[in-house]
Structure 1
Amino acid sequence: MIRYVLSTILLAWALGFLWFAVFLPQPAGNARTDAVIVPTGAAGRIQQGLAVLDAGFAERMLVSGVAPEVRPAEFAAEFGVSPERMECCVDLGFAAVDTKGNASEIAAWVEANDIASLRLVTTDWHMRRAASELDRTLPAEVEVVRDAVRSEPSLASLFIEYHKLLASGAGGLVGI
């Protein structure tokens, strides 16, 4: 009986990992939302968020999890954002240090800015966990469009992120 249970668990884990690694989330296309949200992290996220803003698919942008020592002028210079664009449309969030913290920071910003729909821009391998944390944190009426930045993650990165997703899901089930 124990072998059967352990074999079933191992098979479920392996099939889950295969699904996770092979069917990575995709870009969202031209969906229009009130805001674009970008958790800091892997390359390409902030550039994609700014491209969404420049294309008019969102009016505002929050970059969540910015290091406390980063100044808005430094951010603007690094990513080629005009002072006018920074002033009107780009907010930097400094409170988050991890994915769960990003969700809390984003939820507070969404509430403070009366956002009804948002586009979450993050790396394809990170999207499921980031969206899951947001789903637990945001009010149900806030629409979240998932906009994955394509990447070429290593097997090790996928392995680690898959286990973080499983732990995050388990934590959500028990309320941690």
Structure 2
Amino acid sequence: MSAAQVRPRRRPVLGVLLLAAGLAFGSGFVWFAHDALQPPGKPGQADGIVALTGGSGRIEVALSLLASGHAGRLLISGVNPSLDLARLAYASGLHVPAGVASGAISLGHAATTTTGNAEEAAAWARANKLHSLIVVTAGYHMRRALIEIGAALPGVRLAADPVLPPALLRPASFGTLRLLLTEYLKWLAVEIGHAATHPREIV
């Protein structure tokens, strides 16, 4: 059989593979978008809370969790190096709840990426001997954050408390869909990159 006779048979197989890949990608995106839009559940109790800066509502939610006794310590990761807690609160219009000791709140100034957040959280958790964390970030960012932090802290239990930012209040808008697609691609890249890391416990 000549090469010219074999080649046409490969085209239907390639088409099926491309269709399957497209369906898998599309289905994954629908799942990711639905997951990102879910309201927060009940994070329960943990040793510490990690809030990742970069979006509205995250620090407020983390402070509320700390004030209500969900954990005894809070790390706010990715804070501008020029800001201490008082200046951060003033610049962001935040109010530290009464009864929360300033010593219970730590600021991380080194992180500028999600990987940096994970490294900052890992160093803080090890220094304070924490074995469980509540992670606070936007819903669209949560899956990637959990992978990164889980890889940096194998064996530490992670609980998600996602924030629904204003950007997701109109899920069918072009801007929101573009944001979700961008985050979906970032999550896929990180998921593939960390496929061989140690198992992590995520609840």
TM-score normalized by the length of structure 1: 0.90
Given the alignment, which residue of 158, 170, 177 partners 1:155? 177
- Give the paired residue count: 174
Given the alignment, which residue of 101, 113, 123 partners 2:138? 123
Q: Displacement of 1:30 after TM fit?
A: 5.4
Listed as ranges, the gaps of 5+ residues in structure 2 are 1-12, 169-175, 198-203
1:21 aligns with 2:33: yes
- Root-mean-square deviation (Å): 2.0
- Alpha-carbon distance between aligned partners in 1 of 2:102 and 2:162, rounded to the nearest angstrom: 26
Listed as ranges, the gaps of 5+ residues in structure 1 are none
1:6 aligns with 2:18: yes
Q: Displacement of 1:86 after TM fit?
A: 5.5
Q: Displacement of 1:67 after TM fit?
A: 1.4
TM-score normalized by the length of structure 2: 0.79
- Alpha-carbon distance between aligned partners in 2 of 1:73 and 1:101, rounded to the nearest angstrom: 23
Query: What is the identity percentage for the equivalent residue pairs of Structure 1 and Structure 2?
Result: 37
Q: Secondary structure at the match of 2:194?
A: helix
Larger deviation, residues 23-32 vs 98-107: 23-32
Amino acid at match of 1:144: L
Larger deviation, residues 72-81 vs 94-103: 72-81
Go from structure 1 to structure 2 and tell me whether the alpha carbon gap of 1:31 and 1:95 turns closer, same or farther (over 3 Å shift). same
1:171 aligns with 2:193: yes
Match of 1:46 in 2: 59
Given the alignment, which residue of 49, 56, 65 partners 1:36? 49
Q: Contact 2:49–2:135 at 8 Å: present in 1 too?
A: yes
1:72 aligns with 2:85: yes
Q: Contact 2:66–2:100 at 8 Å: present in 1 too?
A: no
Q: Which has the higher contact order (CA 8 A, sep 6+)?
A: 1
Q: Contact 1:76–1:83 at 8 Å: present in 2 too?
A: no
- Alpha-carbon distance between aligned partners in 2 of 1:134 and 1:5, rounded to the nearest angstrom: 34
- Alpha-carbon distance between aligned partners in 1 of 2:18 and 2:111, rounded to the nearest angstrom: 37
- Alpha-carbon distance between aligned partners in 2 of 1:72 and 1:84, rounded to the nearest angstrom: 15
Given the alignment, which residue of 92, 104, 122 partners 2:119? 104
- Alpha-carbon distance between aligned partners in 1 of 2:18 and 2:94, rounded to the nearest angstrom: 49
